[in-house]
Structure 1
Amino acid sequence: MAVCFPFSAIVGQDEMKLALLIAAVDPAIGGVMVFGDRGTGKSTAARALASLLPAIRTVAGCRFNCDPASDAAGCAPDCGATDRRATVKCPVPFVDLPLGATEDRVVGALDIERALNRGEKAFEPGLLARAHRGFLYIDEINLLEDHIVDLLLDVAQSGENIVEREGLSIRHPARFVIVGSGNPEEGELRPQLLDRFGLSVEVKTPTDIAERIEVVRRRDAFEQDRPAFVQAHAAEDQKVAKRIEAARKRLPSTEVPDDILRQAARLCLAVGTDGLRGELTLMRAARALAALERKPAVSETQLRSVATMALRHRLRRNPLDETGSSVRIERALADVLAA
């Protein structure tokens, strides 16, 4: 297994790291979209976080990472499991979806080898099956082909992958946290897909000399002796892992007062978001942050902390207002929370 750069060793990029932590606590938020310059640690941070999460328990032999506690009907007939009572622990899946991936590779297709050698029609799972209960990472997502985007939209909405082709009829669960990254200068993301992301963050190349030097030092130390570098940050990474695990347990009992919901709704009205997905994301993200911070209930502090990342990608374009989305949200926050 490849050695990941430690999450706790990542310098700066605090908004990105916070968004990833929130999504790890509550996957229902809907994933994280990271826009920014190349070489700013986008994939490094996502991969590092996934390596910290507690191992998941799956049905032994299941090719879809099925949860033993779930209904057996949710698994495909040829999942590979012979006894659902037999379980194993495995790391949280982290799957890369390359830009050139074919539809067959993404959703799965007929197992040609078994078809030719045994004359059997069998399903070969794709990347969506491998990502179930884990992370699906898509670099340069704004350059993804439209038909693959359509597939992801369907699966993201239903939580399952349905394959009807070549005499196969397969349905299997496919729930995962999508982490996408891209450079805005290379093209915009389709609004339908962007809306599916719960949180959106922006990362920039650091301009502080000391911070740039520290990034280079740490990366060089990692490349020179990976095991030693990982060991040096193991204690801090373990603290992050325990913090996530404790927050997940605390999440169901974390309260969201009515006045916070009222402020979230007023904020969404003030910035002009479409639909109610903005309020839902605000509520879930603020609750996850409160759980991370060991707070029994959500307050204005958490709402303010997550507002920009939850709403910046949901704003309507205003030709009369050339200010950036982050500035518009900060302005609305000042008005709403001051009222």
Structure 2
Amino acid sequence: MRAVVMEARGGPEVLKLKEVETPTPGPKEVLLRVKAAGLNHLDIWVRKGVASPKLPLPHVLGADAAGVVEAVGPGVTAFKPGDEVVVNPGISCGLCERCLKGEDNLCPRYEILGEHRWGSYAEGLVVPEANLLPKPQGLSFVEAAAIPLTFLTAWQMVVDKLQVSPGEDVLVMAAGSGVSVAAIQIAKLFGARVIATVGSEEKLRKALELGADEGVNYTHPDWFKEVRRLTGGKGADKVVDHTGALYFEGVIKATANGGRIAIAGASSGYEGTLPFAHVFFRQLSILGSTMASKSRLFPILRHVEAGRLRPVVGQVLPLEAAAEGHRLLEERRVFGKVVLEVA
């Protein structure tokens, strides 16, 4: 089969289209004929060696996939060849206390597809049966592949960690990213007023079309003051953030007394300044977040099928253009997801 293989750490040029052996499904596993693969900033961090630096090479990136079941291994009962499916990218043991409590993304053996094992930048992909869901009707493979990782991440941040409720002011940082386009929609679904930060007028327009109520340009030095102005001086009750060190002090200052901040990444750097007085005196809560329980993809897909949530695809490229997709993400030239059409 064809696959985009990462043979070294470095820039996008390390991604090469190669012929590799098609994997064989084992017990309780399914071989998927990948039709579309979504790109994520996680792929960039793995490529650069920031995430999983000891990962053995060569490696195939890609957490998100949608496609058709090609073959099933022994013991598979829920799917058969020909079924159209979406891949849930979080893989866990399914047996430990965390998994059995529905906290599988805290499993000691937790893995993310494309980071810890070969991923979806390929014509074939083997995953556990437990990591497949039927593709929503009326959704293309490209649209389906734009959902899993970012919507799972946003769902845990907005619903599980921040516990957003009607009438709250929710600040969503970097509104054009895959996580943020999902977070805007989920926060609105739960009745919040959304303030989105953007880096351009074009992205502001798209964020407002997606449902954001207000927009702030975070390239301005005092952008957090505008957030406070829009909230009557109070600040945002809840914050969805993955922007990292460059903006973190502003995020703290933009948050209301007693507010909550959920962090799921650090795209501008991992070591920032934390003004402790703001945290303890104003009683802020800073919550780390990675992915979500596999169970959360079920309600997400129901909302998608009902039209209450929708994937946002900013660019579609062929499999062999994966390196260009990485450049688009790194240069922030896309609003929403970059998706590879595979077969």
Same fold by TM-score greater than 0.5 = no
Structure having the larger proportion of residues in strand:
2
Structure having the larger proportion of residues in helix:
1
Structure 2 length as normaliser, TM-score? 0.25
Structure 1 length as normaliser, TM-score? 0.26
Larger Rg: 1
